[in-house]
Amino acid sequence: MCVLEDISYTRKDGQYLRWDHRSGRRQGKRPFHKGHIASFEEAIVGKLDEIYTDLQPSALLPGFFNTPDQGGEIEVLCGSCLHLLPTLEAASFDGLITSPPYANRYDYTRTYALELALLGIGEDEIRELRQAMVSCTVENRAKADLPSVFSPAVLARASAAFAGQQALQTILNYLEWQKETKALNNAGIPRMVHHYFYELALVIFECARVLKPGAAFVMVNDNVRYGGATIPVDLILSDFAEQAGFSVEVIWVLPTGKGNSSQQMGAHGREELRKCIYIWRRRND
């Protein structure tokens, strides 16, 4: 799966796939040429080399990859984290590394259309998947079943953290005002941002439950901008983490940030947004 794009006529471009002119697909005014298309053998050997290099001991993440003599079984759980996390045993995991969907309006079912097609996922299943995943696109609706999925304790604590996050509530009020004045290019943005942070609050509190004391939680995420307002995703989620029982060890900021959409830059100017890696540590309390 990880070399599928390398050996295909496609390349991810935002939330869509661009087709190389050699695919025989219809082209726009400027035909797209993605360059060298690798053979399967070339691509898979290159990927295995990359994985091997990544697994070497690292001074940046001590304790993660420096025990190569210790093996373990791999178990893949298929489903939404919103439904699977509450079923896992408390204090049963030694660490967690994740890159959740970003609050960037990307429909990841389109971004990964090639992989989903290879898996035989049809249109109806894609629509169900789009609604089941963490809300990150304006097409996401509210998940009415969440109160029955999470325990009352987790639901109450996560909801309180969400409602009490002052910066987030200020942003949500601003986006609602932008919606009422028809200043947003899509009226679904306030709803999407609201659900995104509420669902991730639930995920973070649930992860605090399933991680052992002292366990590391590593997350990759990006900040976003809507209606000219930068949303500090890193700081908001880290505040949730502190309330859930984590200590924020570090927020690494990548040296090169990302820009805004062309609509944002045209109306509000360009502002570089932080791309971050957070390391949180489960406290003993």
My answer on whether 28 and 164 are in the same domain is no
CATH at residue 193: 3.40.50
Question: Is the pLDDT confidence value at 123 over 80?
Answer: yes
Residues 47 and 172 in one domain: no
Judge whether 224 lies within some domain: yes
Task: Please classify residue 234 by burial: count the beta carbons closer than 10 Å to its beta carbon, then call 0-12 exposed, 13-18 middle and 19+ buried.
Answer: buried
Q: Which domain holds residue 39?
A: 1-55
Structure tokens at 162: 């969400």
Q: For residue 49, give the amino acid letter.
A: D
| Number of domains present in the structure of the chain | 2
Nearest to 202, CA basis, from 281, 143, 131 = 143
Q: Same domain for 179 and 268?
A: yes
Q: Can you tell me whether residue 83 is helix, strand or coil? A: helix
Residues 267 and 231 in one domain: yes
Q: With pLDDT > 70 as the criterion, what percentage of the chain qualifies? A: 91
235 and 151 in a single domain? The answer is yes
Computed over every residue of the chain, the mean pLDDT equals 90
Q: Name the residue with tokens 């609604």.
A: 131
Query: According to the model, what pLDDT value does residue 265 have?
Result: 53
Reported as a pLDDT band with limits 50, 70 and 90, residue 14 is: confident
The pLDDT score that the predictor gives to residue 67 is 60
Do 275 and 213 belong to one domain?
yes
Tell me if residue 251 falls in helix, strand or coil: strand
Give a yes or no: residue 61 inside a domain: no
The answer as to whether 227 is a domain residue is yes
- In a shared domain, residues 42 and 4: yes
On whether both 133 and 189 belong to a single domain, the answer is yes
Q: How many CB atoms lie within 10 A of CB 244?
A: 24
How far, in Å, CA of 276 to CA of 223, rounded? 8
Q: Hey, what amino acid is at 204?
A: I
pLDDT of 140 above 60: yes
Other beta carbons less than 10 A from residue 233's beta carbon: 25
pLDDT at 17 over 90: no
Q: Exposure pattern of 173-191 as b/e (b: 16+ CB <10 Å)?
A: eebbebbeeeebeeeebbb
Same domain, 29 and 103: no
Asked if the structure places residue 66 within a domain, the reply is: no
**More confident of the two residues 261 and 211:** 211
What are the distances in angstroms from CA 88 to CA 173, 197, 200, 205, 215? 35, 22, 17, 13, 16
Phi, psi of 155 (to 5 degrees): -60, -45
Residue 68 lies in a domain: no
Q: Is the residue at 64 inside a domain?
A: no
With a CB cutoff of 8 Å and minimum separation 6, the contacts of 161 are 201, 205, 239, 240, 243, 244
pTM: 0.84
Whether residue 175 sits in one domain with residue 87: yes
Q: Please, which residues have CB within 8 angstroms of residue 148's CB and are 6 or more apart in sequence?
A: none
pLDDT tens-digit series, residues 229-283:
999 999 999 999 999 999 999 999 998 756 555 555 555 566 789 999 999 999 9
For residues 125 and 248, membership in a common domain is answered with yes
Mean pLDDT for 172-198 is: 96
pLDDT at 269: 62
pLDDT of residue 224: 94
- Burial of 278: CB neighbours in 10 Å, binned 0-12, 13-18, 19+: buried
In a domain, 71, yes or no: no
* pLDDT given for residue 108 in this prediction: 87
Same domain, 51 and 107: no
Beta strand pairing status for 93-98 and 211-222? Answer: parallel
Cα of 23 vs its chain's centroid, Å: 30
Residue found under tokens 């726009």? 28
pLDDT in tens, 22-67: 999 888 888 999 999 999 999 999 999 998 888 777 666 665 555 6
Quick check: is 60 in a domain? Answer: no
For residue 201, count CB atoms less than 10 angstroms from its CB and return exposed for 0-12, middle for 13-18, buried for 19 or more. buried
Q: Is residue 165 pLDDT above 90, yes or no?
A: yes
